[in-house]
């Protein structure tokens, strides 16, 4: 083999080796993490090796999570698995989180009436305002209720009764 043929082959081999090292170091972590999510029933999407979104099936129900650049959960929507109450199984939920990853607002259907609710929480995670249609009474009257800093309930419109789970 002459020198003119050998030099390009050596250069090509070096670039091939370098490309393999690059892909192994920088592309494999995201692929491995995505494969791990697939095994858990969730498919993850990554940006610079940080998870930004996942979607899939959790306990038999569809779910999607969206994360901020810092990796904290910002938005989640899906359907309830019925782990707390069987009658909520399959009902949709849409939740919003602040920059600290704390749950701040929930839009969901609940109760025997499968009534719509908007639940707003303070920084401690305490419900401070709920509005919706009555989830218990067949008349499904609208309500707006707030709680002050001492936990005292104030019915602004209609009447809301918190029943045990």
Residue ranges making up the domain that contains 70: 43-157
pLDDT higher than 80, residue 28: no
Question: pLDDT, tens digit, for every residue of 132-149?
Answer: 999 888 999 999 999 999
- 23 and 100 assigned to the same domain: no
Proportion of the chain above pLDDT 90, given as a percent: 40
Note whether 29 and 56 are same-domain residues: no
98 and 110 in a single domain? The answer is yes
Maximum average pLDDT range among 23-27, 119-123, 155-159: 119-123
Are residues 9 and 49 both part of a single domain? no
Show the 3-state SS of the chain. CCHHHHHHHHHHHHHHHHHHHHHHHHCHHHHHHHHHHHHCCEEEEEECCEEEEEEEEECCEEEEEEECCCCCEEEEEEECCCCCCHHHCCCEEEEEECCCCCEEEEEEEECCCCEEEEEEECCCCCEEEEEEECCCCCCCCEEEEEECCCCCEEEEECCCCCCCC
Report if residue 164 sits inside a domain: no
Same domain, 30 and 94: no
* Number of domains observed in the structure of the chain: 2
CATH code at 102?
Answer: 3.90.930.1
Are 61 and 120 within one domain?
A: yes
Q: pTM for this structure?
A: 0.69
């Amino acid at each position: 083999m002459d020198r003119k043929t050998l030099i390009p082959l050596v250069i090509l081999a070096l670039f091939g080796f370098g490309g393999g090292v690059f892909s192994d170091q920088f592309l494999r972590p995201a692929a491995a993490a995505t494969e791990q999510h697939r095994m858990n029933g969730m498919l993850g999407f990554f940006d610079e090796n940080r998870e930004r979104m996942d979607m899939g099936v959790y306990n038999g129900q569809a779910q999607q999570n969206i994360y901020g650049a810092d990796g904290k959960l910002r938005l989640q929507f899906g359907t309830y698995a019925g782990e707390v109450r069987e009658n909520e199984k399959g009902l949709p939920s849409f939740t919003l989180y602040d920059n600290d990853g704390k749950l701040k607002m929930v839009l969901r259907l609940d109760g025997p009436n499968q009534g719509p609710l908007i639940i707003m929480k303070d920084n401690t995670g305490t419900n401070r305002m709920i509005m919706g249609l009555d989830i218990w009474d067949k008349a499904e009257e609208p309500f707006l209720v707030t709680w002050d800093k001492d936990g005292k309930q104030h019915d602004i419109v209609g009447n809301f009764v918190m029943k045990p789970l």
